[in-house]
Structure 1
Amino acid sequence: MPSVITGAEIRTCLGDTTTTFKALVEGVSGVSPLRFHDTAKLNVTHGYQIDDGDVERPRRAAGWLTECVAAAAAQAGLDATTQRVTAIVGTGLRELRSVERFTADGVPVLPEELHFAAAVRAALPGVADVITVSNACSASGHALAIAADLLAADEADAVVVAGCDATTESMLTMIGRVGEEPTTSVRPFDRDRTGVLLGEGAAAVVVQPRGDGPLVLGVGLSCDAHHETAPDVRGIVAAMRDAHERAGITPDEVDLVLAHGTGTALNDPTEASALSEVFADVAEQPLVTGVKGAIGHTSGAAALTSLVLAVESVRAGWVPPNAGLRTAIDEAAGLRLVVDEPAPISGHAVVQVDAFGFGGVNAVCVIEVNP
């Protein structure tokens, strides 16, 4: 049974939901020189960080999460004192940055602060349970799947689904080791892409069994365990087909795809090949865009961030272009990639949102947005 999105908010390097979407349509990128890190040591010089002051405050990710949950809950009119409300937070690294700072600089952190219960309850004091799901870069997509199950089983009246991650030196170190030269921007599906860069952000949506808003038709999952980091076409295709089956749709009903699009040598051709396979028999291909060229890879927040921006696209009637894409890779030759300028879209659309994580932990969401 479909669930309804009754509230939503995001934070990215470009701002809140409204300012982020406006910047995407205008072709603005939020990439900038890294703050708070020794770039020479890391071999990473740029990222998509949230500008929240010159001094790195403790538990930045938790702070953005609180803001997003508060805004989404207010839009939904949640009352956690009279409703059964559960929160599920998807994240790639939790508050790993707090552990790094404790180790390097002695900045205090409590074990319970590494999860996000306090951050959610600061915005929604009466929430019953807060569950942190650490499922790599598809974490908030998995959180949405769990929320749909909770509502279907009548175990909650509403579920706050969220995702958040901040830049960590651990991930920056890994990125710096796999490239000879530092990457200065993410260029999804581009022949001259040079790799991924981290983005910072948070997202929160409220889903309920009834109400006015976009419908979550289904979330498809797969865990192919093909490789520690390399994606697998078969696992991604399985997640896409699972999503379509759960949503009760066929591929020809999809109007728009928000791609995972990391700008990496392995992900882009694999995702493009999977999309080409799933939509092979569709006469009018769906539009395909992605947001990481403008806001970076926001890890655990990526799935929900794309979902919220997909809703904004349909409501505005414009799909933002793939930032950083100039010449598409061969594997994407048959896809309707949105390039250079925003593409028009009708006031009603079925949207597929892709999110893939290390270890083949994949989540694909299908939503329906009405005017």
Structure 2
Amino acid sequence: MATIAASAVRSCLGDGPATFAALLAGRGGAAPLRYVDPDLVNVGAAYEIDEETSHRRAGTWLAACVVEALRQADPRVPRGSVPVLAGTGLRELGAAEKWSAGAAGMTVEDLHFTGVLRETDDRLGPVVTVCNACSATGHLLALAQDLVDSGAAPAVVVAGADSLTVSMLAMIGRVAPDRTERIRPFDADRTGVLLGEGAAAAVVVPDGAAAAPLGRLLATGMSCDAAHETAPDAGGIARAMREALDRSGRKGEEVDLVLAHGTGTELNDRVEARVLREHLGENGPLVTAIKGATGHTSGASALMSLDVALRCLATGWVPPVAGLDRPAADCGGVRLVRSAPVRARPRLAQVDAFGFGGVNAVTLVGAA
């Protein structure tokens, strides 16, 4: 086991506290595209961070979250001793697109996170970037736990970020027959996924090393089913869930809360609900999801869900699924939180993150 000493988030709704407050209020951040012509990509809306930044949008938000998380945790460690594990789906592809269109003042180094992160704090060591689709930061939580449990690092920063890119927007617009206005996870009237912008960072330390721990990082189960390029596979997801339970020594009925992957697509919602029913029981833990409010933030999504899970454990409040008005029949048998926050006392939360190609990560976190 390891301890989560700090967590920081930046979403279209604001920082971590502002994002959690918006979730509790049922508010979402979907808005008309600001920086890309909708007719060019056949997508009219997204969950964008409404600010102009440098050409390194993802890296700028990532660095800000890392600085905030380190400020919270303030680990007493030597210079250069804290590795940074950065998860992303697209890295700085947005910067590459601008570069290819003739933007000036950019270099190859701008496409990586190493430079912008190493400038933030002299305690940071090597930066390892993992481009592992939408479960990237979930997988990195497992690596961080291994590093601190083995003594290989006194602390690890896990971070993730993605920004909108023209090419990804065009892909979304290509596969969707109609334009989606907002994500509606597990809803009968769901119409598909939309991209979101965001970043997050967490500091993982050995047990007993945090002055004010946020939660206990119990285990992460992982799988790579490679069953299909994009479609989720129930068997692969189930393997990751079982591994998380086995590694943590917990049983499915002990899980009080699930932060679902919840993309608002027919395949993902149906498969995820099925696996939750089969492995955590009919009408088992409370289930919520954040993408209806924040959009699909790709590489940052697992850490953003983790931040919300930690706040649920600390406050006893579980926010509703934004965009969920009428649960789909194929998502029955799970206790979806909708319409209003639920007062609860969760002690064990599960965070789901599933990526293209069947790269799945399921993390269990306990109350501090």
* Smaller-chain TM-score bracket: over 0.9
Q: How far did residue 331 of structure 1 move?
A: 2.5
Structure 1 CA distance, aligned partners of 2:242 and 2:71?
34
Residues 28-77 of structure 1, C-alpha deviations (whole Å, 9 max, x = no match):
11111111101111110100000113xx6310111111110001001111
Taking only the aligned residue pairs, the percentage that are identical comes to: 50
SS, match of residue 129 in structure 1: strand
Q: Which runs of 5 or more residues in structure 1 are unaligned?
A: none
* Count of matched residue positions in the alignment of Structure 1 and Structure 2: 364
Match of 1:325 in 2: 324
Equivalent residue, structure 2, for 1:335: 334
Q: Give the corresponding residue for 1:220.
A: 221
- Map of 2:267 onto structure 1: 266
- Counterpart in 1 of 2:157? 160
Residues 108-155 of structure 1, C-alpha deviations (whole Å, 9 max, x = no match): 432222221122222223312110011000001011111111112211
Matched, 1:287 2:286: yes
Provide the alpha-carbon RMSD of the alignment: 1.3
**SS where residue 128 of structure 1 aligns?**
strand
Show the counterpart of 2:136: 139
Q: Quote the Cα distance in structure 1 between the aligned partners of 2:137 and 2:104.
A: 28
Residue in structure 1 matching 2:83, options 86, 92, 106: 86
- Counterpart of 2:59, as a letter, is A
Partners of 1:108 and 1:33 in 2: how far apart?
29
- List structure 1 runs of 4+ shifted beyond 3 angstroms: 79-83
Q: Would you say 1:239 and 2:240 are equivalent positions?
A: yes
CA distance in 1, matches of 2:358, 2:155: 29
The equivalent of 2:351 in structure 1 is 353
SS of 1:322's partner is: coil
Counterpart in the other structure of 2:258: 257
1:312 counterpart residue number: 311
Task: State the distance in 2 between where 1:275 and 1:50 align.
Answer: 32
CA–CA distance in structure 1, aligned partners of residues 363 and 11 of structure 2: 21
AA at the equivalent of 2:252: P
Report the equivalent of 2:170: 173
- Tell me, in whole angstroms, the C-alpha distance in 2 between the residues paired with 1:11 and 1:270: 29
TM-score (norm. length: structure 2): 0.96
Report the 3-state secondary structure (helix = DSSP H, G, I; strand = E; otherwise coil) of the residue aligned with 1:245: helix
Specify the SS of the correspondent of 1:242: helix
- Mapped pair 1:61 → 2:54: no
CA contact (8 A) 1:3 1:208 kept: yes
Partner residue, 1:191: 188
Contact in 2 for aligned 1:85/1:160 (Cα 8 Å): yes
Is 1:367 matched with 2:368? no
Task: Establish whether residue 300 from structure 1 lines up as the match of residue 299 from structure 2.
Answer: yes
Secondary structure of the corresponding residue to residue 23 of structure 2? helix
Stretch of structure 1 that moved more, 105-114 or 262-271: 105-114
Query: Is the Cα contact below 8 Å between 1:80 and 1:124 reproduced in 2?
Result: no
* Amino acid in the other structure paired with 1:237: A
Counterpart of 1:267 in structure 2: which amino acid?
N
What is the CA distance between 1:82 and its match in structure 2? 4.9
- Output the TM-score relative to the length of structure 1: 0.95
**Which among 121, 124, 130 is matched to residue 121 of structure 2?**
124
Does 1:106 find its partner at 2:106?
no
- Given residue 223 of structure 2, which amino acid in structure 1 is its aligned partner? S
Segments of structure 2 that go 5 or more residues without pairing to the other structure are none
My pick for the range that moved more, 314-323 or 114-123, is 114-123
Deviation at residue 364 of structure 1 after TM alignment: 0.5
Q: CA deviation at 1:220?
A: 0.4
1:294-330 Cα offsets, whole Å, 9 max, x none, are 0000000000000001111221221000000111122
